[in-house]
Amino acid sequence: MRLAVVGDSDSHAYHDGTRFTGKDGRRGGDFHETTWQWTEWLQRLRGGEVDQGPWGRYGSRRIVALIEEAVGRPGRIPEKEDFAYNFAVSGAVCNDLMNVQKQMPRLVRLMDEAPTAWRGGVVVVRIGVNSFGQSDSLERLAANSDAGVLAEIDRCIADVRDAVAYLHRYHPDTRVVLVGIFNNANVGDNIQRWQSPREQARIARALDRYDAALKAMAADPRIAFFDDRAWFAALWGSRTAEGRPAYRPISVDGRLVVTNTQGDAPCHAVLADGHAGTVWNALWAKALVHVLNQRFDAGIPPITRAELTPSGNFRKQPGREDCAAP
């Protein structure tokens, strides 16, 4: 089954050697070698069932892409190292789906080269955090349900609708997974902020506004909704009714305990740079396979937790933090 992605750093491969260079730029720091994005996990664990395209360097500078498209060849921006069908780029905003980076039109152009292969394929749409989900936006929502942020959410909803409509105009049999917005109040330094029921309720109502629109779109049998906030809460928990942190550790096959803390070692849910850690991404890939099977009867063998720990997936680096369970 072919699978493509449009979105931001939540889906941009961590081992992109073009954009993530040098010790400080590599996802996972000293643990970079075994720190994987969910797309990379999916390739490692189900590469025989899910086709994300060959790994390689794709894209170019904007002017080059425009020239290529002017002469009838497919173009894409920016240059990055990733799977061929992954158009997600770190820093992308909702407007990049149809404008600026034009992720969806340029993906569709690629799909047009082999339309039969994309019948029954899947496009994952995971975007929004850079438009309205970062700390500054959450602060404004927590304070007064800021009208400007709410308007940005509505623009993002429109961008997603336009992108899906564009895809289905040319490839009506391709399925879509719409990923709901994550609540960044639950990770990193934000955990210590907005510790009141009123602030948390204001944030939740705004994020619900986005998710409700995506859920409504999923009434179409070709579309599935992935509830990112519910997924996280089912694993690590959430806050109390008073807004206080109430997270729990999780165990990966009894060999690795992962807490909702920040650091590059695999026992942390979140990397030092604020992106999802390798265990988070592994479990997210596992959940995505479940959604594909449940909604689209994809027939992909479920990913088990027992598959995640062997073969050095979370190998300890010499002299570094030991994350092994006692």
What per-residue confidence (pLDDT) applies to 323? 64
Give which of 122, 119, 128, 163 is closest to 291, Cα–Cα: 122
Give which of 95, 93, 94, 97 is closest to 108, Cα–Cα: 97
What per-residue confidence (pLDDT) applies to 244? 92
First to last CA, the chain: 40
DSSP for 213-269, written as a single string: HHHHHTTSTTEEEE-HHHHHHHHHEEE-TTS-EEE--EEETTTEEEEEEESSSTTEE
Amino acid at 184: N
What per-residue confidence (pLDDT) applies to 184? 97
- Count of residues in the chain: 326
Contact 176, 120 (CB under 8 A): no
- 164-203 pLDDT, tens digit per residue, is 999 999 999 999 999 999 999 999 999 999 999 999 999 9
Q: Is residue 45 part of a domain?
A: yes
Domain span at 185 = 3-307
Q: Is residue 185 part of a domain?
A: yes
Peptide bond into 301 cis (omega under 30): no
What total of structural domains would you count in the chain? 1
Q: What is the mean pLDDT of residues 296-319?
A: 75
Please give the sequence-ordered ranges of beta strands (E in DSSP) within the chain, or none if there are none.
3-7, 55-58, 80-83, 122-126, 175-179, 223-226, 237-239, 245-247, 250-252, 256-262, 268-270
d(CA 175, CA 218) in angstroms, rounded, equals: 10
Q: Is residue 124 part of a domain?
A: yes
Inform me whether the pLDDT recorded for 152 exceeds 90: yes
Q: Is residue 295 part of a domain?
A: yes
Average pLDDT, the chain: 91
Q: Is residue 322 part of a domain?
A: no
Predicted TM-score (pTM) of the model is 0.94
- 3-28 pLDDT, tens digit per residue, is 999 999 999 999 999 988 876 678 99
Calculated CA dihedral for residues 95, 100, 104, 105, nearest 10 degrees:
140
- 224-269 pLDDT, tens digit per residue, is 999 999 999 999 999 998 899 999 999 887 778 899 999 999 999 9
Q: What is the mean pLDDT of residues 157-165?
A: 98
Q: Is residue 207 part of a domain?
A: yes
Q: Is residue 315 part of a domain?
A: no
- 198-219 pLDDT, tens digit per residue, is 999 999 999 999 999 999 999 9
180 DSSP assignment: P
Q: Is residue 312 part of a domain?
A: no
Inform me whether the pLDDT recorded for 326 exceeds 50: no
d(CA 174, CA 108) in angstroms, rounded, equals: 11
